[in-house]
Amino acid sequence: MNTVPVPHEIFGRNDGQLLFSERLADYFDGDDLEQAQKALDQFLKVAFRGDRPIPYYVLLQADGDNMGMIINEQETIDEHRELSRRLSTFAQKADPIVTEYHGCLIYAGGEDVLALLPMHTAIECAKKLADTFAQDMSDFTVLDPQTNKDIRPSLSAGLAIVHHLEPLSNSLEAVRQAEKYAKSIKGKNALAITLTKRGGSERTIGGTWGTLDQRLEYFIDLFLKEDISTQAAYELETLAMTLEGSGDDNYYLPHKAISAEVRRILGRKKASRGTREVSENVVNSLSDLVESGKISVEQLADELIVARELASAYRLAGKEEKR
- Prediction pTM value: 0.90
Picking from 58, 64, 150, the residue whose alpha carbon sits closest to that of residue 103 is: 58
Average pLDDT estimate for 287-302:
92
Q: Which comes out higher in pLDDT, residue 46 or 252?
A: 46
Q: Confirm if 126 and 208 have CB atoms less than 8 A apart.
A: no
pLDDT at 271: 73
Contacts with 25 (C-beta within 8 Å, 6 or more apart), sequence order: 33
User: In Å, what is the CA distance from 226 to each residue of 153, 277, 315?
Assistant: 39, 11, 11
> Does pLDDT of 2 surpass 70?
no
H-type alpha helices, the chain: 30-48, 67-73, 77-100, 122-136, 168-183, 212-224, 232-245, 248-251, 255-267, 280-291, 297-316
What percent of the chain stands above pLDDT 70? 93
Q: Which comes out higher in pLDDT, residue 183 or 322?
A: 183
Residue type present at position 193 = I
What percent of the chain stands above pLDDT 90? 60
> Got the DSSP string for 272-303?
TTTTEEPPHHHHHHHHHHHHTTSS-HHHHHHH
Q: Which comes out higher in pLDDT, residue 272 or 222?
A: 222
Radius of gyration for the chain, computed over Cα atoms and rounded to the nearest angstrom? 22
Domains of the chain: 1-52 (no CATH), 56-209 (3.30.70.270), 220-321 (no CATH)
Q: What is the pLDDT of residues 159-217, one digit of tens each?
A: 999 999 899 999 999 999 999 999 999 989 999 999 999 877 899 999 999 999 999 99
> Does pLDDT of 274 surpass 50?
yes
Picking from 185, 203, 183, the residue whose alpha carbon sits closest to that of residue 193 is: 203
Average pLDDT estimate for 276-298:
90
Q: Which comes out higher in pLDDT, residue 125 or 53?
A: 125
Furthest-apart CA pair in the chain: how many Å? 73
Round to whole Å and give the CA distance between 19 and 138: 45
Q: What is the pLDDT of residues 132-172, one digit of tens each?
A: 999 999 989 888 777 778 888 999 999 999 999 899 999 99
Q: What is the pLDDT of residues 74-111, one digit of tens each?
A: 889 999 999 999 999 999 999 999 999 999 999 999 89
State how far Cα 323 lies from the chain centre: 18
pLDDT at 251: 47
Average pLDDT estimate for 258-266:
88
